[in-house]
Amino acid sequence: MSMCTVEEVASSCDAIRFFQIYVHKRRDITAQLVQRAERSGYKAIVLTVDVPKLGRREADIKNKMVAPQLKNFEGLFSTQAVSDKGSCLEAYADSTLDASLNWKDIGWLRSITKLPILIKGVLTHEDAIKAVEAGVAGIVISNHGGRQLDYAPAAISVLEEVVHAVKGKVPVFVDGGVRRGTDVFKALALGAQAVLIGRPVLYGLAVKGEAGVRRVTEMLKDELELTMALSGCPTIKDITRGHVITDRERLHSSL
Ligand SMILES: Cc1cc2nc3c(=O)[nH]c(=O)nc-3n(C[C@H](O)[C@H](O)[C@H](O)COP(=O)(O)O)c2cc1C
């Protein structure tokens, strides 16, 4: 749901880019986006699976959230959803996203692209195993930044069970609540290959544009390096499971 097009983002930088998609009721629209991402040099498709419907975002409802102009869909369909119930974003998601999304759709996606497909929104080891069986190239553990369902577990709390289930067959990434280098360190120690960052990037952007985003990533990098130095880890490879204690271990030690 970007306000810039696939092509605009591609021409703005030569960084490695992954393209995140939702599956639309109209599959031709999803297919077109995937093809545009391929043509624009994106390296992977990230299929978000935790939004069959938009969660109940009460602030959006109260504030009568207006869906932003989603430029990728210009000429394809109108994204100007209106709602008398409150959130226009919710009305937009209801009318366009396919709530019947299921495991077979990964097969469909694989049939229309040669790019590796990552699945974003996994929170259990059972789903992680199914995702690997369905042929994904990577897993992003995520609860959508806590924006979809109250009481969904924190992504970091399920990281280890997913890593164990996946057994190194595909890389495991995690997002949600990464605010400090220590958070990155913890995720790496619990077996994540990398972390993804949402709101800190947006906060940096809001405060100081591109320089603000740069500063956010520098801060995280500096903090990670300091944490590594103070934990006796000269390289990322030196960060091990033994460097962190989880709640489960605390509980065991008090039994
Ligand atoms: C304003 C906003 C918009 C988002 N839009 C999307 C989206 O379109 N697709 C998606 O997969 N995740 C979306 N997310 C979720 C993020 O990708 C990510 O999972 C989450 O923000 C990570 O948590 P963090 O913000 O604590 O780092 C959005 C998050 C925010 C805050």
Distance 175 CA to ligand 1 centre (A): 9
- Other C-beta atoms closer than 10 Å to the C-beta of 229 total 10
- Residue 161, pLDDT > 80, answer yes
Question: Which residues have any ligand 1 atom within 6 Å of their CB?
Answer: 1, 20, 48, 120, 142, 144-145, 175-178, 197-199
Round to whole Å and give the CA distance between 179 and 187.
Answer: 12
Q: What is the pLDDT of residues 193-238, one digit of tens each?
A: 999 999 999 999 999 999 999 999 999 999 999 999 999 999 999 9
The pLDDT > 70 percentage for the chain reads: 98
* Residue 145 alpha carbon to ligand 1 centre in Å: 6
Helix 104-112 vs helix 27-39: crossing angle, to nearest 10: 40
pLDDT digits (tens, 9 = 90+) for 64-109: 988 778 888 887 777 676 777 778 888 888 889 999 999 999 999 9
DSSP code of 46? Answer: E
ipTM over 0.90: yes
DSSP secondary structure, 62-101, as one string: HTTPPPPP-GGGTTT-------SSS-HHHHHHHHHB-TT-
Q: What is the pTM of this model?
A: 0.95
Predicted local distance difference test score (pLDDT) of residue 217:
98
Report the alpha-carbon distance of residue 236 to residue 185 in Å, rounded: 9
Quick check: 1 pLDDT over 80? no
Nearest-CA residue for ligand 1 atom 8 is 1
Could you give the dihedral angle defined by the CA atoms of residues 217, 197, 166 and 30, in that order, rounded to the nearest 10 degrees?
-120
pLDDT of 155 higher than 80: yes
Query: Which of the 8 DSSP states describes residue 241?
Result: G
Kindly give the pairing relationship between strand 18-21 and strand 117-122.
unpaired
Across the range 144-165, mean pLDDT stands at 97
The Å distance, Cα 53 to ligand 1 centre, comes to 15
**pLDDT single digits (tens) 98-153:** 999 999 999 999 999 999 999 999 999 999 999 999 999 999 999 999 999 999 99
* Tens-place pLDDT, residues 13-35: 999 999 999 999 999 999 999 99
User: Which among 24, 125, 144, 164 is annotated as catalytic?
Assistant: 144
The number of helix segments (H) and strand segments (E) in the chain equals 10, 6
Residue of 157, 161, 113 whose CA lies nearest to 136 = 113
Q: Whose CA is closest to 25, among 53, 6, 44?
A: 53
